[in-house]
Amino acid sequence: MFMSAVIITDALWGDSGKGKISAYLARAENASYVVRCGTGTNAGHSLYFGKNLVKLNQLPLGGLANPKSQIRIGSGVVVDPEIFLREIKEYHLQKRTKIDFRCAIIEPRHKQAESNDSNLSKKIGSTKTGTGFARAEFIMRRARQAKDVKELKGFTSDAAKEINDACLKKKTVILEGSQGTFLSLALSPDYPFTTSDNCTTLALADDAGLNWKYIKDVVMIVKAVPSRVGEGPMPFELSSEEIEKRDIREYGVTTGRPRRKAARIDWNLLKYATMLNGPTQIALTFCDHFDLEVKGVREVKGLTAKVKNLIKKVEKVTQTPVTLVETGKDFEDIIALKR
Ligand code: IMP
Ligand code: MG
């Protein structure tokens, strides 16, 4: 289906299962490359493979899911060498993983500075991963890059070139985004309650150095029951009692913080996200939180009227087909809709 690049982007505030959809597509579409885009190690992508919960902060989950895929980190992503080396070792990915040689490096002092900065750590609710400080130093032209780090020797490449070359040969390349549209530094209306870069479709393409002509599809993830971690506005926010009552608690992968949750999608925000991202397909995730009855359903005929109506509404607002529906935590809890 995707003969070249597919970008996986997030409509709202992240934590929507981009990594899982990337993993699903990496397998289904036999991706040649899966590229981690987005800001840095502030993102936490997690997924149950069978009984094993895999959590990644630096690598793309899609790359792990398909042993035939090459894994890359785009030059726009900041890299924490300690986390990178730990993840490739833990999952035996040394042979098929490379970082773009231009990636800026997160130093221990960046993490320290972020924790010590009360504006970031308290008011904004930063993940304290050093991502923002490393980016700031990069902009000041003082950062080290991946090519300057001894421990990363052998793990760097010109990822932008490899990716564009693969696209030219009509191979499937997946760009796995992180964060979400309304955490974008310069496009969210909520500044300063944002992350340290934009996270929309073209920002992600830029993180990888992808030529726009190779973009074949944009899969925008829409979380059926939106959530937000850290501070900043979220329409229709539920109280913690209500979250408890509905049995839809969630915790951040990176920080372990409870996620704030909304009663429903704000249709105006979704329209705005559609305008910014230009999706060609929608993946509607966390449908089991929207209607507990569809938990673990793996066939279209098991979907309830409530969820089917939500699909219709999302399609109407976005003018884009919903092609994937997620109904639970397991890897197999994804239904592909024929469109
Ligand atoms: P920072 O990017 O770690 O400085 O965090 C800034 C804001 O973005 C905080 O509200 C974080 O909770 C939020 N944030 C950063 N990364 C993610 C993510 O991957 N998912 C959800 N929220 C995030
Ligand atoms: Mg960027």
pLDDT digits (tens, 9 = 90+) for 107-164: 999 999 999 999 998 899 999 999 999 999 999 999 999 999 999 999 999 999 999 9
Ligand 1 pocket test, pick from 16, 127, 179, 260 with the greatest ligand atom count within 8 Å of Cβ, gives 127
125 lines ligand 1 (CB under 6 A): yes
227 lines ligand 1 (CB under 6 A): no
Q: How far is the CA of 131 from the centre of ligand 1 (A)?
A: 10
The token duo for 55 is 């959590």
Q: Please say if the pLDDT value at position 2 is more than 90.
A: no
The answer to whether residue 94 sits within a structural domain is yes
- b/e sequence 40-61, b meaning 16+ C-beta within 10 Å: bbbbbbbbeeeeeebebbbbbb
Rounded to the nearest integer, the mean pLDDT of the chain is 96
The answer to whether residue 110 sits within a structural domain is no
CATH of the domain at 65: 3.40.440.10
Q: How far is the CA of 292 from the centre of ligand 1 (A)?
A: 27
pLDDT given for residue 1 in this prediction: 44
The 8 Å CB, 24+ separation contacts for 235-241 are 235/262, 235/266, 235/269, 236/262, 236/263, 236/264, 236/266, 237/261, 237/262, 237/263, 238/262, 238/263
pLDDT band with cut points at 50, 70 and 90 for residue 255: confident
Q: How far is the CA of 297 from the centre of ligand 2 (A)?
A: 36
In the chain, DSSP assigns E strands to: 5-10, 33-36, 45-49, 52-56, 70-73, 97-100, 156-157, 173-176, 215-223, 227-228, 260-261, 281-285, 322-326, 334-336
The token duo for 270 is 């979704």
Q: Please say if the pLDDT value at position 259 is more than 70.
A: yes
Q: Please say if the pLDDT value at position 90 is more than 50.
A: yes
The answer to whether residue 127 sits within a structural domain is no
Q: Please say if the pLDDT value at position 332 is more than 50.
A: yes
Residue nearest to atom 8 of ligand 1 (CA): 195
The answer to whether residue 54 sits within a structural domain is yes
pLDDT digits (tens, 9 = 90+) for 48-74: 988 899 999 999 999 999 999 999 999
The answer to whether residue 118 sits within a structural domain is no
Return d(Cα 301, Cα 290) in angstroms, integer.
17
127 lines ligand 1 (CB under 6 A): yes
* Over residues 268-273, mean pLDDT: 98
- What is the number of structural domains in the chain? 1
pLDDT given for residue 256 in this prediction: 85
Q: Please say if the pLDDT value at position 80 is more than 90.
A: yes
pLDDT given for residue 338 in this prediction: 83
Q: Taking ligand 2, which is a single-atom ion, which protein residues have CB atoms under 5 Å away? A: 76, 197, 207
The answer to whether residue 303 sits within a structural domain is yes
Return d(Cα 62, Cα 95) in angstroms, integer.
16
Q: How far is the CA of 38 from the centre of ligand 2 (A)?
A: 6
List the domain range (segments joined by +) for residue 57: 5-102+152-336
Rounded to 5 degrees, what are φ and ψ at 310? Answer: -65, -40
Catalytic residues: 15, 45
Q: Tell me the three state secondary structure of residue 171.
A: coil
Q: Tell me the three state secondary structure of residue 36.
A: strand
pLDDT given for residue 10 in this prediction: 98
The answer to whether residue 284 sits within a structural domain is yes
164 lines ligand 1 (CB under 6 A): no
Q: Please say if the pLDDT value at position 339 is more than 80.
A: no
- b/e sequence 186-203, b meaning 16+ C-beta within 10 Å: ebbeeeebbbbbbbbbbb
pTM for the full model? 0.97
Q: Please say if the pLDDT value at position 39 is more than 50.
A: yes
* 131, amino acid identity: T
